[in-house]
């Protein structure tokens, strides 16, 4: 008979081996037909991304990229509520407080994964059905195709927790039309359904109930090219009639967004909003007043610089910013107020935009020497 300790070891070993195939695994990786399929499988946590998921997805994408029998990669979420609601912020907060390496490793490996998706040689199709925020945006927006549905809810809400719209936000946000990206980044405004397509974040819109059929058709394609995949997505997109007539939610405000959010500093944006005085402007002021002043200044500069940078350089810059947030006060306070105590009243330090000095912001962007992100 095995001694109790040995028996435990055998059981643990068995559990380890079955982890990847069993349905309780946090991420399922499978090959079906010519498609590599990544399924985020933490429905109770709205498929929030943690380090172990990142560490499984990254090498798999790299393997499929080299495999001549894999023609496309599909990523989706389980549970029907979310594609991926973000990164595992609670774990990062705990790590940051105790100086645990996770606070460095998580962002480093997450951004490496974002870059792998952005440079992936195989067509990459993200089915962004349900909540898609923060880290979930990073898993989708840099790929070739992003399919939104009527259930998609997109946002980059980081300024509300003392962070900034990372995962390559500095790259894709300033490239949206007009000042939409800047507006979404500073206010955390939520886009729903077809508006995610109209804003330029999704490439296609397909009804949620049609996704299983679409996936089946994608898997059935025989050695497809990017064009074949685009044709299939276009045909599904053309047949989707939900909300087709509705105008873009920000349409009536675009002129104001473009003029008010084109200012060079946060103080100037606030001044312009006050001067404008319209109900729309007042609402934006109320939102901005709740955000971390440090995050707002950091974000405005991140987007201004990112507008002319490559994705690689943006992610390197964002890694520096992530580590500045880990050293600071507001991220921990924001997570406390929004996610832990849920009192929704963070006490930011500094508490006013005027108190966040240019020197302080410049420091956040400084290279980290040997600790810089290398892509």
Report whether pLDDT(22) > 60. no
d(CA 151, CA 120): 27
CB 164 within 8 A of CB 295: yes
Based on the residue annotation, tell me whether 158 is a catalytic residue of this protein.
Answer: yes
Report whether pLDDT(56) > 90. yes
Query: Which entry of 34, 77, 86, 87 is annotated as an active-site residue?
Result: 87
- pLDDT, one tens digit per residue, over 187-238 is 999 999 999 999 999 999 999 999 999 999 999 999 999 999 999 999 999 9
Domains and CATH numbers, the chain: 25-371 (3.90.226.10)
Report whether pLDDT(9) > 70. no
Query: Which entry of 88, 110, 129, 158 is annotated as an active-site residue?
Result: 158
Output the average pLDDT for the chain: 94
pTM of the model: 0.93
- pLDDT, one tens digit per residue, over 124-164 is 999 999 999 999 999 999 999 999 999 999 999 999 999 99
Report whether pLDDT(8) > 90. no
How much is the pLDDT for 18? Answer: 45
Query: Which entry of 88, 110, 129, 166 is annotated as an active-site residue?
Result: 166
Q: What are phi and psi of 128, to 5 degrees?
A: -90, 70
How much is the pLDDT for 199? Answer: 98
Based on the residue annotation, tell me whether 162 is a catalytic residue of this protein.
Answer: no
Based on the residue annotation, tell me whether 355 is a catalytic residue of this protein.
Answer: no
Based on the residue annotation, tell me whether 110 is a catalytic residue of this protein.
Answer: no
- pLDDT, one tens digit per residue, over 254-300 is 999 999 999 999 999 999 999 999 999 999 999 999 999 999 999 99
């Amino acid at each position: 008979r095995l001694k109790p300790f040995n028996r435990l070891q055998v059981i643990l070993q068995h559990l380890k081996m079955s982890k990847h195939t069993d349905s309780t695994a946090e991420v399922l990786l499978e090959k079906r037909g010519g498609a590599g399929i990544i399924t985020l499988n933490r429905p109770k946590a709205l498929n929030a991304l943690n380090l172990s998921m990142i560490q499984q997805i990254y090498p798999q994408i790299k393997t499929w990229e080299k495999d001549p029998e894999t023609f496309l990669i599909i990523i989706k979420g389980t549970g029907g509520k979310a594609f991926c609601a973000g990164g595992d912020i609670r774990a990062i907060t705990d790590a940051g407080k105790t100086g645990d390496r996770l606070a460095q490793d998580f962002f480093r490996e997450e951004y490496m994964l974002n870059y792998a998706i952005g440079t992936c040689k195989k067509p990459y199709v993200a089915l962004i059905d349900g909540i898609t925020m923060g880290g979930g945006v990073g898993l989708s927006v840099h790929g070739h195709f992003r399919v939104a549905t009527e259930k998609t809810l997109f946002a980059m809400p980081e300024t509300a927790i003392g962070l900034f719209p990372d995962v390559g936000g500095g790259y894709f946000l300033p490239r949206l039309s007009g000042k939409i990206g800047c507006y979404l980044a500073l206010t955390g405004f939520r886009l729903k359904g077809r508006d995610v397509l109209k804003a330029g974040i999704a490439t296609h819109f397909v009804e949620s109930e049609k996704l299983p059929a679409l996936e089946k058709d994608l898997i059935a394609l025989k050695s497809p090219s990017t064009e074949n995949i685009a044709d299939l997505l276009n045909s599904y997109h053309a047949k989707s009639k939900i909300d087709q007539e509705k105008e873009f939610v920000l349409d009536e405000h675009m002129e104001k967004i473009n003029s008010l959010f084109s200012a060079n500093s946060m103080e100037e944006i606030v001044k312009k909003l006050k001067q404008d005085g319209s109900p729309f402007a007042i609402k934006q002021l109320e939102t901005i007043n709740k955000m971390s002043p440090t995050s707002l200044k950091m974000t405005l500069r991140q987007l201004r610089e990112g507008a002319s940078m490559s994705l690689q350089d943006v992610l390197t810059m964002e890694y520096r910013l992530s580590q500045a947030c880990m050293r600071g006060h507001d991220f921990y306070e924001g997570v406390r107020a929004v996610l832990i105590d849920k009192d929704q009243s963070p006490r930011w330090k500094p508490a006013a935009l005027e108190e966040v000095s240019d020197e302080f912001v410049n420091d956040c962007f400084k290279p980290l020497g040997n600790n810089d992100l290398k892509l």
